[in-house]
Structure 1
Amino acid sequence: MQLHSFFNSSTSYRVRIALALKGLAYDTLPVNIRIGEHRAADYVANVNPSASVPALVDGDFKLGQSLAIIDYLDRTHPEPRLIPLEPVARARVLEFASLISCDIHPVNNLRVLRYLETELKVTPQQKTAWYRHWIAEGMAGAERMLERSNEGPWCFGAQPTLADVSLVPQIANALRMDCDLSAYPRCLAVYEHASKHPAFAAAQPQRQPDYIA
């Protein structure tokens, strides 16, 4: 397998965690989204029509979008399963992962922040305020979900799931942007627990071959 990835992309980070948890070997093909490599004509035409990272190549099969990739990996390499089969557990995990992937990430990703700067001409202070606002909105919801259902040490029980795979990169990004996360102790406890797990550690941005300090 091959993974088209950028070290600091939280969506790529999710897939790297999933691959590591499942013990799957893959080659990293770096795509530098900071300089627009994800928009290159060859990449869009032959790898990922959504012009984004990550993209997984498994033989002749190519797939973009991190949640679709993780679901595919769960179907083709089901151990350990990241999206539970039991209906209630599955629903809770997907609910939590959707909060991260639909409510927080889309409004704070690189292309949105660049649009704020280049097209709407917001100041650096306004861009930071935007980022921190949507982190606070989303993380408050995540914390309430864990208050309702968290049994620890992971988001939903004794094993990591798609919920943890989604949460950890989002917290890493928020910390990188100097967001105050002290109001979300359950989320932070999961993050700290995950940081000690070899699969989560191996997927960290600073351990990737395309890492830029």
Structure 2
Amino acid sequence: MRSYEDTYQHKGLRRQLVNLLKEKGISDERVLDAINAIPRHFFLDSAFDKIAYEDRAFPIGEGQTISQPYTVAYQTQLLNVKKSDKVLEIGTGSVYQATILAELGAWVFTIERQKKLYELHKKYYFRNKYLNLKFFYGDGFEGLPTFGPFDKIIITAAAPFVPPKLVEQLKPGGIMVLPVDEGNSQRMLRITKTAEGSLIEEAFDQFSFVPMLTGRNG
């Protein structure tokens, strides 16, 4: 079961988390405000209630995790989300990252390959608040060609390579942020598609993600 009560204690712990993220180098105030606004404990079993605002990942079932808040903030900051941006997210997971993007005013299209997790998303607490958030069950490597092209694409699992079909679905001038490499550690990449269609690749810090897998499970 999950707790949907947001107490003064929870809000205080979120403020502490935001201060920690600032110390770790997150400087985008809009991203920090979104982290502060979203009750992370709503996305976890109530057993994690007291530790939901620690800066670490937690299991959510089906071999998946809710990402470390620093990782969420880091990827979101690199993505440079603008209000009304059309954003494709690969790997819905707990819906926490997608909710941060929706709080920033983006139109979010999020794909989950694990059927059990996708079914849980039907009970998403903020469904009536974030009408700009749409859920899909599918293969992240395929993306959502019928809904593209997208201003931004974010992958929340370790991609073995940059998925070519997702590059195709990125608008000229668009940005994709993803962790790339197999093994225990991945490079965070930001790929910008130029007006001519060529790609500019920037590499950032190392992170550790669960692997991005092909197909659908379930």
TM-score when scaled to structure 1?
0.30
Q: Which structure has more strand as a fraction of its residues?
A: 2
Determine which structure has greater relative contact order: mean sequence separation of CA pairs < 8 Å that are 6+ residues apart, divided by chain length: 1
Q: Which structure has more helix as a fraction of its residues?
A: 1
